[in-house]
Amino acid sequence: MIITCSRVIILDNSQIENTIVDIRKRNGVVTTFNKDKISNAIYKALAATSKADRGLADQLTSNVIDKLVEQGFTSSRTPTVEDIQDIVESTLIDSGNSDIAKSYIVYRHERRKLRDEKMNVLNLKVLDPVSKKFDLNCLRVIASRYLFRNSKNEIIESPTQMFERVAILVGIGDILYDSQIFDKSGNSTQNVDDATSYLEKLDAFDYKFKVGDYFFNKWHFRSLINHYVTLANKGQMKLGFKDVLTLLAAKKLDQYADKITEYFDLMVAQDFLPNSPTMMNSGGRLGQLSACFVLGMDDGMEQIMKTSSDAALIFKSGGGVGINYSNLREEGDIVASTSGVASGPVSFMNIINTVTEVVKQGGKRRGANMGIMEAWHPDIEKFITNKTEPGVLENFNISVGIWEDFWHSLVNTDGNYVLRSPRDKKPVKEINSHQLIDLIALSAWKSAEPGLIFFDQINKYNVFAKARQTPLKATNPCGEQSLYPNESCNLGSINLANLVKRQADGTFEFDWQRYEETIRKTTRFLDNIIDVNNYPIPEITLASKESRRIGLGVMGVADLLYKLRIPYNSKEGFEFQSKLSEALTYYSMEESVAIASSRGDFPLCSKTEYPEGKIPVAGYYEKPKDSHSYEWDALIAKIQKHGIRHVLTTTVAPTGTIAMIADCSNGMEPAFALVFEKRVTVGRFFYTNKIVEEALKEHGLYSDELLAKIADNYGSLKGLEEIPQWMQDVFVTAMDIHWSDHLMAQSVWQQWIGNAISKTINMPNDVTVEDVKSAYLLAHELGLKGMTVYRDGSRHQQVLHMTSENAQKIFEVAPSKSVIQYVTENITNPYIKSQINAALALKVHDEELKIEAPIQDEVSEERLCPTCKNNLVFVEGCSMCIECGYSGCTSG
């Protein structure tokens, strides 16, 4: 077949010689000549001068090709990229399109400048395929966090090589399940010493084995050995290790190169990315791939120091740690062994904080911690207020753990609540639960901490409690992943913004089939990670493989909704997000069953509630069956027949860094702002959400003046006269959405997600402490497993902020109809209803009077002092009783 870019169809020998077949790229590689690339470049120059005309671009491209032939470039004399670009410039000028020529020259200059910047950032002389494709900001993140470096801190791999080493490691997970090697029944016996002996000579096997064109480095080889040993110890290896190596050498397993390519393509297409440690450590010495861990901490110096040591190893390997400190006796309690007094849990948190400070994660960054204390602990008030001052426990997120007894005391009784000793569970003192929730709300209002973790909700459908013989009592640092002590979790997120199809009219449609396919592929991706992971301590290896917990999640939700023109906080938006969530868990669990059929279920599966037909999915039980989109009963029957590979499969995690690499919005969060301002010496520049930028241009609204207005409006389109109402409704930011709608969005995901959701409940600066408390009450009613509020400006150091000196919000937000309907129809507890109605300023329908009337009586009752029932006043950011002196700012 002859590939040609001339307009001749039937070619004789002389015409063949005058046809341009190849092109020499900047790196010296010769590749097939493609005239469409010239046409696209010219079209972009035309568009830049407001003359976007595809026909003219094609005609000018034909002129360029004619000129190339005139200058002697043929099938035997290959032009370079620079030759072609020079001729494009001269052709544009000769054709009388000097303005387009100028635009093309500028375009060419900017492209050259961008290439140079990318090469500088990546320490490359020639750009690799991924570097050409990815945005410069994406590459900056990859370079700073993930690319391997030498002893001089110089980057020594390209982004393509980085994604390849990850994909190769994941592919190794598939190889040993090949039918030639794997025996699910566990009836085979092998000498694992043959395999482990290779661990002593890894250097000799660096890049010696390969699958297809993918070579295993020595750390890949180590994972192959360890994976083999694990399966052999379970009696599942039909062949000795040397026989497996023989199969590799004989290319009998080369078909797995296709699986490696599949994993590589998922990441390079920015459709899916695993959590950061996987990209940091795959194919490297550390080899630790998990993002989150939970450690136990029992009340004894030896146990405390063991936990601190384990935490250091986890930080060093790139992971974060969650610890529940409630087992530690309260400050001032007697220590029998020394006749001294206990210093309390908060003091021991400082030990972990210091360890975190000095041990960088994977040599890249400091670690993250979740510190949890349950509401019944005698030191709970000190714990709550500990982080209201800057500089305290800066490497910690802290959360208060809530159980049924506290909640019952808060919403159903007079509020009496007993604090108990961790040592013997005997009562220490009695407090008022209303005062405690006020203290939590005030602290969160001031400093965005603590968060709340609803352990009653977490354990409501916890099918694993039966096997572990205890409820879940801790989470990872961001609260979305509940884990038992020594468990880890491997997370990964699908970029939903990529999973769209463009229609003939230019609009987008979500590709549900591709979504299903991606869920299935990525479930297997994460399953393999469990097998090839190099865990930091033996206890974590055991616990992680007993449960095989994975956390498949999403990112790009806001960008997807922008593309589909669906308002985030609308009825349609909530219903669409609910369906996305249900599909994620359904297909990942169904794929988990399919994997269990061939590889086996997780080791403790038979001891859980799965065989009884129970599943860890609230929506299955709490949503009407006729509203389900999938056949959950059929899936449960499959689980009962085949088991399931993972105790839980889905989590919506924070995706700050990987979302930057995927070039999409974070997790399920709405966009923080649509336009960011950057001030430099020569003026103001604006970073604009790409989807919004395209929409503004499409409707002739794009201008620097408008971008400045948006930036000065907290990055929002709301309230701007120039912006059509539909755009204001669709392109919403976090601050455009009422805090109650943030909770509603979190809940529609939580209904179907097995683990939990990492989500910030954004609140404007002018919300009250009572609003924060009402958010807690609504969150629990909505079935959330935890929540974190962020009042704008409450952090001592705010990571995301408005850079415009002129920023001034010109809009107000209100709860959506969906929230009002939910509160009106579903909340029945009088205390909860009155608090939420007051916060949302809702009106209820009085059936007898047939009028809309505010709930004045109930509101005033619940604004009373919880101690003496007299009026509370709000002074200097704090609720205070002018009768008895009760204050929400101090413990009583």
Query: Which residues does the annotation mark as catalytic?
Result: 476, 478, 480
The residue ranges of DSSP E strands in 169-256, in sequence order, are 210-211, 214-215
The residue ranges of DSSP E strands in 77-228, in sequence order, are 210-211, 214-215
Task: Dig out the tokens for 237 from the structure.
Answer: 């290896």
Task: Look at residues 592, 734, 721, 720 and name the one whose alpha carbon lies nearest to residue 670.
Answer: 734
Rounded to the nearest 10 degrees, how much is the dihedral formed by the CA atoms of 642, 645, 648, 652? -120
**Are 575 and 561 in contact, with CB atoms under 8 Å apart?**
no
What is the secondary structure of 552-598 as a DSSP string?
EEEE-HHHHHHHHT--TTSHHHHHHHHHHHHHHHHHHHHHHHHHHHH
Distance between CA 465 and CA 612 in Å, rounded? 13
Distance between CA 348 and CA 323 in Å, rounded? 11
- 720 three-state secondary structure: coil
Buried/exposed 409-432: b ≥16 CB within 10 Å, e otherwise: bbbeeebebebbebbeeeebeebb
In sequence order, the 6+-apart residues with CB closer than 8 A to the CB of 259 are: 171, 174
| Chain centroid, CA 867 distance in Å | 43
Task: Dig out the tokens for 594 from the structure.
Answer: 């399919």
Task: Look at residues 217, 240, 243, 218 and name the one whose alpha carbon lies nearest to residue 229.
Answer: 240
Distance between CA 594 and CA 585 in Å, rounded? 14
Task: Look at residues 126, 150, 122 and name the one whose alpha carbon lies nearest to residue 135.
Answer: 122
Task: Look at residues 122, 212, 120 and name the one whose alpha carbon lies nearest to residue 171.
Answer: 212
**Are 307 and 323 in contact, with CB atoms under 8 Å apart?**
yes
- Can you give 761-784 as a three-state secondary structure string? EEECCCCCHHHHHHHHHHHHHCCC
Rounded to the nearest 10 degrees, how much is the dihedral formed by the CA atoms of 439, 445, 448, 449? 0
Q: Measured in Å, how far apart are the chain's first and last C-alpha atoms? A: 87
Q: Which residues pair with 508 in a beta bridge?
A: 502
Distance between CA 245 and CA 709 in Å, rounded? 64
Q: Report phi then psi at 353, rounded to 5.
A: -60, -40
- 675 three-state secondary structure: strand
The H or E element that residue 324 is part of is strand 320-324
- 872 three-state secondary structure: strand
Pairing of strands 360-361, 675-680: unpaired
Q: Is the peptide bond before 854 cis (omega within 30 degrees of 0)?
A: no
The DSSP letter of residue 143 is H
**Are 315 and 286 in contact, with CB atoms under 8 Å apart?**
no
What is the secondary structure of 627-663 as a DSSP string?
G-SS-HHHHHHHHHHH--S-S--B-B---HHHHHHHT
Buried/exposed 548-587: b ≥16 CB within 10 Å, e otherwise: bbbbbbbbbbbbbbbbbebbbbbeebbebbbbbbbbbbbb
Largest CA distance in the chain: 104
Task: Look at residues 765, 768, 766 and name the one whose alpha carbon lies nearest to residue 874.
Answer: 768
